Amino acid sequence: MAGLFSIVLHSHLPFCLGKGKWPFGEEWLFEITLDTYLPLLKAFLELKEEKIDFKVQFGITPVLMEQLKSVYFQDEFLKYLDSKETLLLKDQESFQGKPEYFNLANLYLDELLYYKKLFLQINGDLVKAFSQLQKEGYLEILTSAATHGYLPLFNNNLSIISQIMTGCEVYEKHTGQKPIGFWLPECSYKPGLEKIISELGLNYFIADSHALTEEGTALTTRLYGIHKYKEPSKYSTYYSYDIGSNLTTFLRNPSTSELVWSRDLGYPGDGAYREFHKKYEISGFPYWKITAKDTPLDKKELYSIEDARDKTKSHASHFVSMLRSLNSNFKRVNKSDGIILSAFDTELFGHWWNEGVEWLKEVLKIVSKEPGMAMAHPSEMIKNSFNIKAGNLKESSWGMGGFHYTWYNSETMWIWDMIHEDEKELENILPSLQGLEGELLIREFLLETSSDWPFLITTSQAKEYGKKRFMEHRNKFRNILLNIKSGSVVPDINKLDKDDFIFKNINLEGLKNYYART
């Protein structure tokens, strides 16, 4: 036997197309596509060409999937690449007499042109390209709630059902397959979610390591305190858990996650890697390395691709040795091999950590030849009943303090007051909804309830943008609702803005029928 390794990449961006450009808006998606999604596709295709039998769990949220599939995105992304090419040519002009900088700009240009060629080869359809890798067994694509809604804070099941059901239908529409794995938005869980997730045809989801409670007593107080519970055992993440309702949960391994996720304690902060925060004033491209964590930006040294690649190889070897050691320790104590599941935001690889994709590729290559470890999809582990125990989860998330504070606090309570108001309105009017008006109402409710808006406010990453985007969709919801109630003709929002490529043809009747049964 061997220990089983599973790496989960969670890909998500809020609805941003046509919603501003810089610094907040659709360039988020363009940047991530160039820095992360295309490099990952390249790495996966190269591993396939090298006949490496790799396995990766690749979550794509429905709202991201809808945007990647839109013609608007595909056209605008090509324009974005053209603008980047122009900027790099200007960099080269400015670097005359500085051969090291000129050569680095030239390497960036070659890379850019390669990704443009790859994007055209797949006809701009990243979702189809990743779905093909799923059909071939390399990827297991997870779905999620439609707009990454923060499920535990909803007041009624209709909101949860509309998020999950729409997410599953978008997935099936774009991949041609039914989803079996589910990413809990923000790893946020509350008891009872498993019943809805299972009834909608899903087999497993991912939770954070502290979600497990060995006592089997879930937290009952959502916002006003935390009940005491027994800490899970040291090796609790090395099992998967049957939590009832024919649903299995897998827990993130904290040791492996910290090595990759932490810029201060983990690999991404190494001095040889490219500095994210220092950009060249002409183009915005980075030409410097981290050098040292405490080195001021104006003292950063020139980036060396060769040195960085050497580091990725040594860090990949170190990571796999850690996998081997963790599994050996678990096996020594428990007399069986364990599961090590490492889950990350996909955007860490390539975008935030430039060398992350190369590191991941190297890890997958090493593990494929490692006698003590093997890669496996969660669905395969379930099928083979590998290390499954009965268990219970407590209300939790991967946010600050492991609970809901990041999304519910003094700065965001007003958002939830409005959402809870709209939940009641939607529940009351649902039986009478029909046609385009009903679909538009559901769509705006889904967009209003994205977890991104309170997250952006709390973290101050784009506070005013988060407020503006929440109110935009909330106001649309209220206006459509008012028109439906008064019997007025509802304006066709498709003709008013670029929202027409997001959640068209919502299964209104399916939602009504399912909710009526529950």
- The CATH number of the domain where 185 resides is what? 3.20.110.10
322 and 204 within one domain: yes
User: What does DSSP say about strands 56-60 and 373-375: parallel, antiparallel, or unpaired?
Assistant: unpaired
109 and 57 within one domain: yes
- The CATH number of the domain where 493 resides is what? 1.20.1430.10
Question: Among the three residues 354, 382, 400, which one is the final residue of a domain in this structure?
Answer: 400
> With 0-12 CB in 10 A as exposed, 13-18 as middle and 19+ as buried, what is 295?
middle
User: What are the pLDDT digits (tens) for 373-388?
Assistant: 999 999 999 999 998 9
323 and 468 within one domain: no
Distance from CA of residue 151 to its chain's centroid?
16
Cα dihedral 392, 423, 63, 256 in deg (nearest 10):
-30
Write down the catalytic residue from 31, 35, 91, 186: 186
Q: How many Å apart are CA 153 and CA 240, to the nearest integer?
A: 26
161 and 73 within one domain: yes
Give yes or no: 411 in active site: no
Count the domains in the chain. 2
The model's confidence at residue 221, banded by pLDDT at 50, 70 and 90, is: very low
Question: Among the three residues 356, 376, 400, which one is the final residue of a domain in this structure?
Answer: 400
72 and 11 within one domain: yes
Q: Whose structure tokens read 């963790």?
A: 326
* pLDDT-above-70 percentage for the chain: 93
237 and 291 within one domain: yes
Residue 269, classed as helix, strand or coil, is helix
Write down the catalytic residue from 345, 411, 427, 472: 345
Q: How many Å apart are CA 414 and CA 498, to the nearest integer?
A: 27
Q: How many Å apart are CA 159 and CA 421, to the nearest integer?
A: 12
- Angle CA 172–176–182, to nearest 5: 40
The mean per-residue pLDDT over the stretch 481-497 comes to 70
User: What are the pLDDT digits (tens) for 324-358?
Assistant: 999 999 999 989 999 999 999 999 999 999 999 99
Full domain range(s) for residue 414: 409-517
Question: Among the three residues 381, 400, 419, which one is the final residue of a domain in this structure?
Answer: 400
Give yes or no: 186 in active site: yes
368 and 327 within one domain: yes
161 and 78 within one domain: yes
418 and 365 within one domain: no
496 and 427 within one domain: yes
374 and 477 within one domain: no
Higher pLDDT, 165 or 498: 165
Residue 220 has pLDDT above 80, yes or no: no
387 and 466 within one domain: no
Average pLDDT of the chain is 91
Residue 231 has pLDDT above 50, yes or no: no
